[in-house]
Structure 1
Amino acid sequence: MMSSGDNDRMKDIVFTRGGWIPSVVRQDGELRLLLGAGADATHSPRTFTFPVREDHLAVIREDLGRHLLLWSAVIPLCDAAGTRGPLDESAAVALLDPILLSPPADVDALFRRIPWARGTLVAHGADIEMLDGGRVHAATRTATETPDRKRAQDDAARRRRAARGVTLSPLDAAILRYTGQYAHGATIPKRLPDAVDPVLLPEVMRVLATAEQACAGLSIGRDPRQGKRATDKRDWKRMEAAVGGAVRGVHPGLADDAVRTVSFLLCSEAADRAKDTLLDDGNATGERAGTVLSFTDDKKTEKTWRPGSRLSATAEFWEFVGDRSATDNKVFTIEDEERGEGIQVHFYADSAARITTVREGTDGSGPEYRVEYALIDGMSGYRGLVGAFVRGGCAALDGLGPWMSDNEEFERARQRRDAAR
């Protein structure tokens, strides 16, 4: 939208450098600077115009640096307009003479007082050291019409690190470039050897070799309690600690940012390998012959597993959990009705109950059950519990306790466990 509200009025382009660099247009006989910045409520680009004079146009034509400086100074005014507001034309016009017609020293002084879009100048080749030193006019002598957005992203990342007191060595920076996390630390890391200076690549690979050796034999499993493709956070932290400790020990000069990106790379790769892997106890052949099991959740949804099914009972149960688990659905049961026993897992409390039938119901009376409770240690504890029950029923769980039949005793044990965490 035009700041002046005259989108449909005819405009003749008087001067343009192409791309997003502002153009000068003639509209109803008046020279105006036309630029795109920000977006409206529908995320469509907004455009703004404000008047300029012939002497301003002459400088814009001849001096790319001052043209870019004007652009970078007007961008904050466009941002202030938001998704619907008008451009403050008076403030924009007030920038023209000081930026386009004033001596370099006065331009530098102005940029020390006003907000401006540093990334625009950096992307178009402005000298970064001069910008850091406040010499914005001289910095634009190296400017180009073609932008390099990556250069601006890297500069912004460097400044964010500097604000945290972090200075990267060439090797630190090379490691971050290898993982694709130099500019954006929250992105999923990758292996990008072509992004690294060939001189530094062998050193980067030595660091990676240390990390890979440290996590050999470790894996990161799924945690269906949190969803179908969720990662076991405990596995992740264990691998992260192993990699971080080894890399810091062998390469003590590395910055924390570099160590973290290596740990993140190895952990994310391990998690990715596991995301489509079925959860099994590793011993499906040990399942009791002829046993039919039923799975239920806290919403009374039920699923029956029978011998000969495509998946083992343990894998089928964890797929059921992954599909059904939610913040309001954290209790699941496995029941062997024929043998009169089952287990109930309480994901919200890291606990479980085993239930055995002591006496069948007769003459109108209900059956009598023995219920025993145990604390469970994370996803690995639940996997062991489910696998043992599938293979051997409640009797196979004796070594996974202690099991407590007194509910108050169990509650005290749970509170002690939670307090110690």
Structure 2
Amino acid sequence: MESYLGLILIIAAVVVLTAGGMFLLFRQGRKAAPPPVRPPEAPPIPEEERQAPSKGAVIEDEATTTVPPPARPVEVPVAPPIEVPPPSAGRMVRLRARLARSQSTLGKGLLELLSRDRLDDDVWDEIEETLITADVGVAPTQAMVEELRTRVKVLGSRTPTEVRGLLKEQLLTQIGADTDRTLRVAKHGERPAVVLVVGVNGTGKTTTTGKLARSLIGDGNRVVLGAADTFRAAAADQLQTWGDRVGAEVVRGPEGGDPASVAFDAVAKGMEEKVDVVIVDTAGRLHTKTGLMDELGKVKRVIEKKATVDEVLLVLDATTGQNGMRQAQVFAEVVNITGIALTKLDGTAKGGIVISVQRELGVPVKLVGLGEGPDDLAPFDPEVFVDALLGD
């Protein structure tokens, strides 16, 4: 019995010791949970900031909707406005002052010589030299001097007014005050008038073509331009610019193409559109190249299969003097020139070229270029021209 009680006590002691060890073991491995971290207290927001929206905030209410940003507009090139040129009437009168500034040496020199008390042979030689230097030409100069000497002998004493009247009369006689200088651009029923523009490179031929188109449109005509100078790409582009400015259609062909074909197409387009005038700009022919001159004749013949060439304008640079005269004579042999457009008359040109070129070619000066502006091409008026030479 005692042994049985002893065994129970031993077992109880073992259980107690084992439970106590386990309790100590688990208590040593346990760590206490860290205390919770309190966030820092934010300072109170002032009343005005609570009411005002923060920067960058989007204010929305029930009526607010999200609108996408507008798309960037596509830039469409705008054609330049079409210009309305002034009419050709009165242009030379408006440009008279410019002409007088460049040509007054001739008129004033002659007036001074003729106003001398004694007109001996030396003075008459000076008068003759002055006229020849001004590109009047030998034959017209001799005719003028002979007539002046006769009139001076009849008059005897001469007042400045009489001298001026005498000189004006002789200049008008040589220029041809009564010559018909009408530009033939009248429409033939349904067929437009055709103007062929010819000349050597550098005379201002393409520019003159563009200015002529402006002048005709300013007078109320509808115009088609033919860019038959296919050997110089810049010529077609230049003519296109002139046409775009005034609303004239330009017919052009491939670079190096057949000029006669372009001229024919231009006339056909003019007839189709029922315009008033077709102006054909040709290549600047060098008068020494026979082949090119022959081609100019071909252009004219091809046009005449479709319509009549009403006007053949030869563009001459007034500053080239007698060299320009030789060029003009060669052109006259190839095509039937009907009129002359004398360019650069406001610069260093000698005014007498008007007299000599008409005498040599037997055709009148119909247009004169008196500046670089788009409206500086004017119908030639002999009276205004002579008054500008002699001054007021």
TM-score (norm 2): 0.22
Larger Rg: 2
Higher strand share: 1
TM-score (norm 1): 0.21
